[in-house]
Structure formats: structure tokens, C-alpha cells
Amino acid sequence: MKKDFKLYWTLFSSTFFLSAFTFGGGYVIVPLMKKKFSDELHWIEEKEILDLTAIAQSSPGPIAVNAAILIGQRIGGMPGALLSVLGAVLPPLIIISVISSAYAAFRDNAVVSACLKGMQSGVAAVIADVVFGLGGKIVKSKSAFQIGLMIAAFIATWFFGVNVVFIILFCGVLSAAKTLYAGRKGGRDHAA
């Protein structure tokens, strides 16, 4: 990949626009980034987006900003990371600066809330689309371990409200144990 002006500009403008549309929390930006950087631009693999999300989630700070830094760094090195932080931070900075002076009027405006209500359905659809895609791949992998982890993680977070950091840690430790165990068994078979 050539690291020219065009690459950096696309990186910055993409993060800027994606950040401008991440209503409703950090996870919304992940499906958007996957669509943009993986499906559309083919800059980064889908698997890697999920890995980077796990890192973004386990670090302090806003997930959307963390994810932007990671993808920027992956694509454009240090300058890429800086540009994508800027891209991720500018939209909320501008929007809040503008409306913080007139927030009562903004909050009570019926047209604004109708627009936001409509967009909520759109955001939900975007996430659903990506979840079907990613979840479908995991189901197709026919790995009982992965499918089981996915279901267990969903139940833990949705029904029991378990802190996501614990979920990530637990899945990580479990998979490490499984890999080490399989590795040792494999090694013994090999020796025999």
C-alpha cells in the first residue's frame, strides 16, 4: 500500500465521517469501520478488525477513539494514528461546541428528535447487518468452542450484565488454556 497523501486523506475523512455517525456508544463505530475499511477499501482483514476491537475494549478510554487509533496505526503508522484520532475527535468536538450554547432549544426540538429517532432504527439495522455477517461466519466455522463462546458471552452480557472487561479476560484465558493443552497433546502425539 502506497502511503501517499491520498491514503492519509481517505483515512482522515473516513474516520471523520464514521465518528460523526456513531450514535449510541462505541460499538457502533466498529461495524461502520468494518464496512468501510474491510469490505469497501480492503485495507484490513475482517479478523483483524475484531482483534483490534478486543484491544480497544480492554484499554481505558472511549472505544471509538481507541478503535480509530488502532486502525489508523495499522494502515498509516504513527501519522495514520494521529490523523484518525483527530478524525474521531473532531465531529463531537464541533457538534458539542455548537449546541452547548443552545442545548435547551435543541433538546426540545420535535424535528430534531424525529430525525434522531429515525436514525436510531438505521443504526440498529447497520449493527444487525454486521452481526449477521460476522456471526454467520463463526457458525459456519463449525467450531463448537467458538460458537459456544459466542453464545456464552452474549448471555453473560445481555442477561446478566457482566462487565465486558471480565468477559474479554475470561475468553482470553480460556482460549489460551485450550491452545496450550492442544499444543501439549499435539506435541506428545508427534513424539509418539
Task: Restricting to residues 114-153, name those near another protein by CB under 8 A.
Answer: 114-132, 134-135, 138, 145-147, 149-153
Beta carbon nearer to another protein, 9 or 120 = 120
- Contacts for 158 with CB less than 8 Å, ≥ 6 apart: none
Residue of 110, 144, 191, 192 that binds another protein (CB under 8 A): 110
DSSP class of residue 1 equals -
8 Å CB contact between 45 and 38? yes
158 binds another protein (CB under 8 A): yes
CB-nearer residue toward another protein: 11 or 22: 22
Distance CA 188, CA 192 (A): 6
Give the integer Cα–Cα distance in Å for 20 and 31.
14
The answer to whether residue 102 forms part of the interface with another protein (CB under 8 A) is no
Q: Contacts with another protein: how many residues (CB under 8 A)?
A: 107
Other C-beta atoms lying within 10 Å of the C-beta of residue 154: 12
- The distance of closest approach from Cβ of residue 118 to another protein in the complex, given in angstroms and rounded to an integer, is 2
Q: Whole-angstrom Cα distance, residue 161 to residue 20?
A: 28
Q: How far is the CB of 6 from another protein (least distance, A)?
A: 20
Asked if 167 interacts with another protein (CB under 8 A), we say yes
Does position 45 interact with another protein (CB under 8 A)? The reply is no
Instruction: Compute the least distance from the CB of residue 124 to another protein, in Å.
Output: 4
For residues 3 and 178, which CB has a smaller minimum distance to another protein in the complex?
178
Residue 79 binds another protein (CB under 8 A):
no
Residue 134 C-alpha cell reads as 460476522
Where is 147: in which H helix or E strand?
Answer: helix 144-158
Residue 157 makes contact with another protein by CB under 8 A: yes
Among 44, 65, 75, 83, binds another protein (CB under 8 A): 65
Give me the least distance between CB of 140 and another protein, in Å please: 12
Neighbours of 33 (CB within 10 A): 26
182, burial (CB in 10 Å: exposed 0-12, middle 13-18, buried 19+) = exposed
